[in-house]
Amino acid sequence: MIDIPEILYHYTTQGGLLGLMKSKKIWATNILFLNDSKEFNHTIQLAFQYLKCDQRVIGQDLYKTVEHLFSDSQAPDVYVTSLTAMRDQLSQWRAYCPNLGGFNIGFETKKLVEIAKAQGIVLIPCNYDLDEQRKIINNSINITCDSFNQKADANYNSGEKFDIDAFLELAGSTRLNYGLQLLLIAPFFKHPKFIEENELRFIFYQRERQKKNICFREGTSTIVPYVEIDLVMEATDPMPIKELVIGPTPNQELSKKSVEKLLEKNGIQSCNVTLSEVPYRTW
């Protein structure tokens, strides 16, 4: 886990910056449609590794349930926006920005968290520690199984006739609750190979009591579902942007001038416009 810095950054394209300035919103993508298609399955596989060796009846039941809940046909309504503590990182310029121009938007963390919280969105640092991830997964399984066994034993030893309906209801609720646990854990578990990204995530769980309209955009090979996250409390408020880093480009100084005009037009003051120092050339 990492400390949450005063400024959080979001790498984007020219189109992404212009769209954000116009709408005052940022997109959160359904977790199954992120660039790394195996990302969500990382957590599920950790659970599978433990459950397949679990000899408890409820453990085997959870294995089958998890397999069903998170099959490709059961896309969870979990949406993610990636932010980072890294303001000028070569790998991120390469991954998220085009060859001839990209930007890294620095948001005031405190204000951004306040705005997101009002929408039912949480900010969580990603966990890259595989041993810690396994420990969290294993503990969650053990707590779930132990709780089920205690309640089932109380049902069986109550002295009354064994209530099969109550038992099946308990098993069903246990399966559902554990599926929901994994749904909460999975968005911030990442493979250790990604640790240099120093990523934090805004995570939105689509619920009946707090819903967002699902939108769709073109992807590399599929249509991608996403939701929009407001970056202001009121439509007339300026966005909490404190820094804007101009990515590697043959026209950095010219790009800086146009960005400063863009910020001024959108009422964003006290924003530090800087140039990337990464010696990355694709032109």
Q: Tell me the range of 31-40, 70-79, 179-188 where mean pLDDT is highest.
A: 179-188
Least confident of 10-14, 31-35, 55-59, 153-157: 153-157
pLDDT at 149: 74
Structure token digits, residue 52: 């397949």
Count how many domains the chain has. 1
Beta-carbon contacts of 110 under 8 Å, excluding residues fewer than 6 positions away, are 6
pLDDT digits (tens, 9 = 90+) for 138-181: 888 888 878 777 776 666 565 555 565 665 576 667 776 777 67
- Of 283, 265, 282, 257, nearest in space to 273 by CA: 257
- Asked whether residue 2 is assigned to any structural domain, the reply reads no
* Cα–Cα distance measured from residue 63 to residue 65, given in angstroms and rounded to the nearest whole number: 5
- Asked whether residue 281 is assigned to any structural domain, the reply reads no
Angle between helices 130-156 and 164-185 (to 10 degrees): 170
- Asked whether residue 80 is assigned to any structural domain, the reply reads yes
- Asked whether residue 283 is assigned to any structural domain, the reply reads no
Compute the average pLDDT of residues 107-136: 94
- Asked whether residue 265 is assigned to any structural domain, the reply reads yes
Confidence of residue 1 (pLDDT cuts 50, 70, 90): very low
Using DSSP's 3-state secondary structure scheme, residue 17 falls into helix
- Of 121, 84, 107, nearest in space to 199 by CA: 84
- Asked whether residue 172 is assigned to any structural domain, the reply reads yes
Q: Which structural domain, as residue segments, surrounds residue 86?
A: 7-275
- Of 276, 273, 242, nearest in space to 259 by CA: 273
Compute the average pLDDT of residues 250-254: 92
200 - beta bridge partners?
83, 125
pLDDT at 156: 57
Q: Tell me the range of 57-71, 156-170, 263-277 where mean pLDDT is highest.
A: 263-277
This prediction's pTM: 0.83
Report the mean per-residue pLDDT for the chain: 85
Alpha-helical segments (H) within 118-163: 130-156
- Asked whether residue 73 is assigned to any structural domain, the reply reads yes
Confidence of residue 35 (pLDDT cuts 50, 70, 90): low
Q: Does residue 55 register a pLDDT over 90?
A: no
pLDDT, greater one: 16 or 184? 16
- Asked whether residue 243 is assigned to any structural domain, the reply reads yes
- Of 81, 75, 85, 58, nearest in space to 144 by CA: 58
- Of 167, 169, 171, nearest in space to 157 by CA: 167
* Cα–Cα distance measured from residue 109 to residue 172, given in angstroms and rounded to the nearest whole number: 40
pLDDT digits (tens, 9 = 90+) for 209-227: 678 999 999 988 889 999 9
